[in-house]
Amino acid sequence: MTADDLRFLEAGAARVVPERGLADKLSLGRPLRVKLGLDPTAPAVTLGWAVVLRKLRQFQDAGHVAVLIVGDFTARVGDPSGRSEARPRLAKEDVDRYAERVLDEFSSILDLDRAEVRRNSEWLEPLGIEDVLRLAGSITVARMLERDDFAARFAAGRPISLMEFCYPLLQGYDSVAVEADVELGGTDQLFNLLVGRDLQRDHGQDPQVALTMPLLVGTDGVQKMSQSLGNYVAVTDPPDEMFGKLVRIPDGSIADYRLLTLDFFRDPDEAERVRQGLASGELDPWQEKRRMAREVVDLYHGPGAGAVAEARFDELHRARAVPRDAPGVLVPATVFEQDPAGGWRLWVPGLLEAMGLVGSRAEARRLLAQGGVRVDGRTESREALPLEGPPPGSFLGSIWQVGRRRAARLAGLRDSG
């Protein structure tokens, strides 16, 4: 029973530190407090984020306590990590709003009723400088520089602020404050999770077990999935979009996607079977990719949603059907113009811009010249189109497509102003 529990809870994990730690914690025979920090500055929950949320859900299902930490204090201070650009500091209300939204999206994965949600301002705000310095005393600079991204940036001569050094400390102190038994995170969080162990030890607590999950690669198949890189799938993406994005990942990522979005909490062996099948050529990558996409859509939109999305996908992209249900847009009358003879013309770049299909009219003109614009399924390269009678005339209801993924329907005229 405990052995099964352990295998279940460690399924898919990248690292468990210390290796035997989780088994020891489980043998305590009480519900464990499993900590997960959430980033209240991110507007959407991605499939990458979902990985660690699913893992937390597994702990919940096994009877343990999910402790979610809203990093409201840290978000307000502003974290200049990453690209060395100082992240905007957020006002209290903004953080609260974001956090609420994010938590709302979590509810499709976690059982929030059984979770403990805490804000770290609760214990970080009262800290005095003396406390902070004492915390800082627990870690050496050399130790900090062991962290991958610090080491890399230092070597590359890129700036690292002292405040960034404080982040792991504050995050680690969260573990002390909530007396975490286990902390979850992506592999990029390992260092921070380990700092938590050190601080807990300094505070006379039994150090938490750090359990990291592999990072889900983005839809580009190269970089980690992140919102700032735009290579993500959000758990709230509508079925068609979700299917389309998933089916666009490189073949080499199929098994990883299976494991981290579906299999580790359902049937951990399935991903491995697929990996081997693909490697040996027994399985067809295209079919496997579609199956994965279908299953993920089912997971987030209900059984059967995947099949519907798949059918629509085939219709639109294989049969090249015109997307009749593209969002309707009202356009200003100024995209139509009257020539001296009294005839009307449609000014295409203006229209495409008004419909939000292009970023600028100059872009529209380039795309027209390159054959990237279709009207009701036919490629159009003219910048002005004649029409019979007053606008919008026969263009009412016309479907405009730019490239393969952008489309809109001309729903009518809007009063300019």
> Using CB under 7 A as the criterion, which residues of the chain lie in contact with RNA when the complex forms?
154, 157-160, 220-221, 240, 244, 247-251, 285-286, 289, 313, 316-318, 334-335, 337, 345, 347, 349-350, 353, 359-363, 365-367, 370-372, 383-384, 402-406
Read off the tokens for 206. 């039994």
**CA–CA distance, 252 with 203 (Å, rounded to integer):** 45
72 versus 240: smaller Cβ distance to RNA:
240
**CA–CA distance, 308 with 142 (Å, rounded to integer):** 55
CA atoms within 13 A on the CB side of 185: 23
CA dihedral (240, 246, 251, 255) positive or negative: negative
Looking at the chain, the number of H-run helices and the number of E-run strands are 18, 14
**SS in 3 state form for 162-190?**
HHHHHHHHHHHHHHHHHCCCEEEEEHHHH
172 versus 244: smaller Cβ distance to RNA:
244
Least distance in Å: CB of 337 to RNA? 4
Read off the tokens for 313. 């996908």
Least distance in Å: CB of 176 to RNA? 30
Least distance in Å: CB of 52 to RNA? 25
Termini Cα distance of the chain: 69
127 versus 283: smaller Cβ distance to RNA:
283
Least distance in Å: CB of 403 to RNA? 2
33 versus 289: smaller Cβ distance to RNA:
289
Q: Helix 239-246 and helix 285-301: axis angle, to 10°? A: 150
User: Quick count: other Cβ atoms within 10 Å of Cβ 149?
Assistant: 14
DSSP sequence for 279-343: HHTSS-HHHHHHHHHHHHHHHHH-TTHHHHHHHHHIIIIIS----TTPPEEEEEGGGEEE-TTS-
372 versus 392: smaller Cβ distance to RNA:
372
Helix (H, G, I), strand (E, B), or coil: what is residue 17? strand
Least distance in Å: CB of 328 to RNA? 19
Least distance in Å: CB of 227 to RNA? 14
167 versus 347: smaller Cβ distance to RNA:
347
Instruction: Decide: 209 and 278 in contact? Cβ < 8 Å.
Output: no
107 versus 334: smaller Cβ distance to RNA:
334
Least distance in Å: CB of 179 to RNA? 36
250 versus 302: smaller Cβ distance to RNA:
250
Residue 373's alpha-carbon distances to 241, 348, 396, in angstroms, are 20, 10, 17
Least distance in Å: CB of 407 to RNA? 10
1 versus 142: smaller Cβ distance to RNA:
142
Least distance in Å: CB of 165 to RNA? 13
**CA–CA distance, 205 with 351 (Å, rounded to integer):** 65
127 versus 145: smaller Cβ distance to RNA:
145
Least distance in Å: CB of 293 to RNA? 10
- In this structure, the strands spanning 328-332 and 182-186 are unpaired
> Cα angle at 125 between 119 and 131, to 5 degrees?
120
Which letter, b or e, does each residue of 77-116 get, where b requires 16 or more Cβ atoms within 10 Å of its Cβ?
Answer: bebbbeeeeeeeebeeebbeebbeebbebbeebbebeebe
Please state whether the peptide bond connecting residue 18 to the residue before it is cis, i.e. omega within 30 degrees of 0: yes
**CA–CA distance, 267 with 153 (Å, rounded to integer):** 39
124 versus 357: smaller Cβ distance to RNA:
357
Least distance in Å: CB of 326 to RNA? 12
